[in-house]
Chain A
Amino acid sequence: EPEVTQTPSHQVTQMGQEVILRCVPISNHLYFYWYRQILGQKVEFLVSFYNNEISEKSEIFDDQFSVERPDGSNFTLKIRSTKLEDSAMYFCASSSLEKLFFGSGTQLSVL
């Protein structure tokens, strides 16, 4: 069964460093998303991406965040200068329409 894959599964970084989280969406999907989940809290929407541009973003997704689809298969989330409060599980998702399929996540720890 096709699945969304994310790398790395765990990422530890120092505050102020840049991180790039990587995702390979399901191959025939056209819509891509990033969500995050702080430990013990709900899954929160960050951004949606379609046709090589952001279609919607939340207030969490500030200037420190960016997304890119550098080739036909990868979808990345970059955090330019990480803060302690960026520590969370980051989920990539993709969809052909409304049914979103999620990856297993990248656990980001900012020290």
Chain B
Amino acid sequence: GESVGLHLPTLSVQEGDNSIINCAYSNSASDYFIWYKQESGKGPQFIIDIRSNMDKRQGQRVTVLLNKTVKHLSLQIAATQPGDSAVYFCAENTGPGGGATNKLIFGTGTLLAVQP
């Protein structure tokens, strides 16, 4: 069946270090992936997305890598800051696209704890 899972439920890093959060997905037909950040008591906040025709995409301090061969997704956060502490979810869009059939399947989440 379809599933998106995370390898590490908790990641603790020192402030200033780089963080890498990993995610495995099982639906090889998924063509769009998103990383969300969720702070306590808030909704998922969009961080970065990537399409299946790309291997890498960079944003501000964040990079998403997609390895379709092994169905693996990762989020890299450069120079991690205390404000980055949150739960990070990967999500795959299992619908055929175009908006109306968007159906995001979320992973279980990784808690990123940034130590000062």
Contacts and interface: CB of A to CB of B under 8 A. Distances in A.
B100 A98 contact: no
A33 B100 CA distance: 10
Interface string A58-77: 00000000000000000000
B115 interface: no
Interface SS, B side: loop
B106 A98 contact: no
A105 B49 CA distance: 22
A4 B46 CA distance: 13
Contact of A99 (B42, B46, B103): B46
Nearest to A101: B46
Interface of A: 4, 30-31, 33, 35, 41-45, 48, 50-51, 55-56, 91, 93, 95-105
